[in-house]
Amino acid sequence: MKNIAVFASGKGTNFEAIVKAVKKKTIKARIALLVTDQPKAGVIARAGRAGIKIVLVEMKNFLNIQDFEAKIIQVLKEENIDLIVLAGFMRMLSAEFVREYKGRIINIHPALLPSFRGTSAIKDAYAYGVKFTGVTVHFVDEKMDHGPVILQEAIPIKDNDTLESLEERVHEVEHKLYPYVVKLFVEDRLSVEGRRVRIK
């Protein structure tokens, strides 16, 4: 059985969606760790309720990013982590960290990459006036919101949408798509050739 670490800095709704899929045995894996850099993150309470080990690693307690990431890697190795799931982790991982876990880090982004990269993707798509936005799950590489795309789902922006109603529908898709991609990974159904991901 594969071991998963979820990295999150916020409310943890995608974390919760994955936990539910594991409990239902839709995903046959173990969530070994929640790694967070925010002591007040809502995801901590969710992990506590689920009985999942919480690792709080605050940047302020380390001299530099290398020491910060070295501590995280130490914990990941202790738990024999096979997959890192970024679920609203608001810190860019270094190129060295990504190379250490190449092909084993996935991220979710609330837009159809390569459009609307960055931390305000839903708001940016709404403000820009595009007719469609969506959700992307991708492997992580050394650049922000850039690695090989695993799956995308488009979401129409309706004439009567508010930013809040659009955010709600984007999150609904995230909570369905992300557990499905985690399931594909743990079942060894994903392979990467260059920037193309094949699903078996």
How far is 101 from 121, CA to CA, in rounded Å?
Answer: 26
Q: 4 vs 43, 60, 70, 116, 126, CA distance in Å?
A: 16, 26, 18, 28, 33
Residue type, 143: K
- State how far the Cα of 82 lies from the Cα of 120, in Å rounded to an integer: 29
CA–CA distance, 73 with 194 (Å, rounded to integer):
26
CA 159 to chain centre: 29
Closest CA to 183 of 17, 54, 55: 17
Residue 109 falls in the annotated catalytic set: yes
Dist CA 134 CA 110 (whole Å): 6
Write down the catalytic residue from 109, 146, 171, 175: 109
Q: Are 116 and 76 in contact (CB under 8 A)?
A: no
Active site residues: 109
